[in-house]
Chain A
Amino acid sequence: MTEERLIISRKTTNKFFLMIAIGVILLIVGIIAMAAGGGEHHAEGHGEAAATAHEAVSWTKRLLINLWLNNVYFTGIALAGVFFVAVQYVAYAGWSVLIKRVPEALGYYLPIGGVVMLLVFLFGSHDIFHWTHEGLYDVNSPEYDPIIAGKSGYLNTAFFLIRMIVFFALWILFFNWLRRNSINEDLHGGTTYYHKSIRISAMFLVVFGISSSVSAWDWVLSIDTHWFSTMFGWYVFASWFVSSLAAITLTVIILKQNGYLKMVNANHLHDLGKFVFAFSIFWTYVWFSQFMLIWYANIPEESIYFIDRLSGNAGNFKWIFFTNLLVNFAFPFLVLMTRDAKRQMIMLKIVTIAILFGHWLDFYLMMMPGTLRTSASIGFIEIGTALVFLGVFLLTFTKGLTKASLVPVNHPFLEESVHHHV
């Protein structure tokens, strides 16, 4: 088997830089507009809602929550990439060997994600997380909140930071460990690295199982501090994993269309398509399991979460709520149902792009109603931040892809992957 080296041309890198530049310009425009106009005002809304629709939100708060949103989204994609590789190892999977370097390279974003996450939390914790306000825990303060005070054993800044740092340290450690073994295998061959990778992956999966759930509670669920849901860890995991699968599939297709990954054929795409299809349904299953029980029981402390996203907040999030289901469930479900659709690049491309956008919206819907509330909208700041993150992500990801051969030349299951047939 011959090596395949990806070469990212200067032109492509410049495109990514241009993406970041446009993002920064949009951000500056958005910030200036907000600072000068005191926020974008919405004339819509009726009666009482109109009064609350004008809650002023500072541009710093809006910027910080956007940074948080995009960083959680992209970190999740990177993490789920490493998870995908680990699952393939533990399952002794043969088919995925040819595309394995793609999810592997996603992990290169993790260190950046860790640093950004830490910085945004240190500077913006009060803007993003209600529970970080000191007064909530002080019995003599007018702000005292017995419910949140009762959670202080878990939800306190020090423990939160420890968890964040430990998780990122573990993820980066395991990512580097797996990656090093994978590259050493290319250089030296033999099955030692393969067997070692299986053991590393098994350990990582245990770490991932716990840390992905806990980080979902910390980074996303704790924004709505009073609310809780036992499905939430799964929900965020499903969202991360399906976005990551979409990113992997899209990258494989783009690489293939540019003449790389020559041995990847419709059979590999078919399996990736099945993954995207299945986990879109899995995400919906978790979404519905969470929604229906809360809707049925109709207990105020639980249903407030969905009221905030439907009729609450001046109906600000209603369209996103339904778009979310449409783009992330109905669209992939109907389009990817047939065998032919999963084997055609164009269909997969359309669906994966829709899913990547749809799950960004999903995270938007998880974070904005609890922070920006009625003043949330998708404007220059949102698009700008997303573009900057996308640019940075693509730069690190493509750089990671160029660091090793796209074909893991000495993987023991390479031959099986080349002859994969479904």
Chain B
Amino acid sequence: MTKKFVLGIYDDEDVLLQAIENVRAAGTKIYDVFSPYPVHGIDDVLGIKRSRLPIVAFFCGLFGTSFALWMQIWMLGFDWPMIIGGKPHIALPSFIPVTFELTVLCAAFGMVITFFIVSRIRPTTRVNVFDKRSTDDKFVMAIEVNEGTTDISTLNNLLRSNGAIEVNEKEVIK
């Protein structure tokens, strides 16, 4: 199945930010904006909500802490008690480094894995590059065309009047 997109090409960051605001204010839904580098404040104008990934990180970290403590207490305190350095079987201070490491490990891996799942990134993922110049020196605003409802010429005018240096159409395989 193919989908059709209208691409507005911009060559200035400030013009782009203003254009995004105007295009959204005109009631057009922006599919995505591609940029060669992170643009400050673009999340706000695009209306992208803050990521909830930190919450995942917190709970993965909490899991790591609990798992590490449980593992060490159970192994060294109950399953196979050993006397190490004359300390009690359950000697908490000596468990802290492992607990710390597992907390960091679980939080980090949990975040990366969650990110892949949520963004649907897997080894077979095909990425549509709308315009190769978005990896060099141009900003590309992509707007999805719904057959019948989207008027391409109005869209063209809207983008051009907001500073687009080019407006292209592109069909991509979904």
Binding site for B on A (CB under 8 A): 288, 291-292, 295-296, 298, 337-339, 421
Contacts and interface: CB of A to CB of B under 8 A. Distances in A.
Nearest to A337: B58
Contacts of B41: 421
Nearest to A340: B50
Contact of A298 (B54, B58, B86, B96): B86
B85 interface: yes
Contacts, number: 20
B54 A288 contact: no
Interface in B89-115: 93-94, 96-97
A338 to B, nearest CB: 7
Contact of B93 (A291, A338, A339): A291
A339 B40 CA distance: 17
Interface string B45-88: 00000100010001000000000000000000000000001110
A186 B58 CA distance: 45
B60 to A, nearest CB: 14
Interface residues of B, number: 12
A292 B85 CA distance: 13
Given A337-B58, A421-B40, A298 B94 contact: no
A338 B54 contact: yes
A390 B44 CA distance: 43
B94 A296 contact: yes
Contacts of B93: 288, 291-292, 295-296
20 contacts: A288-B93, A288-B96, A291-B93, A292-B93, A292-B94, A292-B96, A292-B97, A295-B93, A296-B85, A296-B87, A296-B93, A296-B94, A298-B85, A298-B86, A337-B58, A338-B54, A339-B50, A339-B54, A421-B40, A421-B41
A421 B38 CA distance: 13
A295 B93 CA distance: 8
A295 B85 CA distance: 11
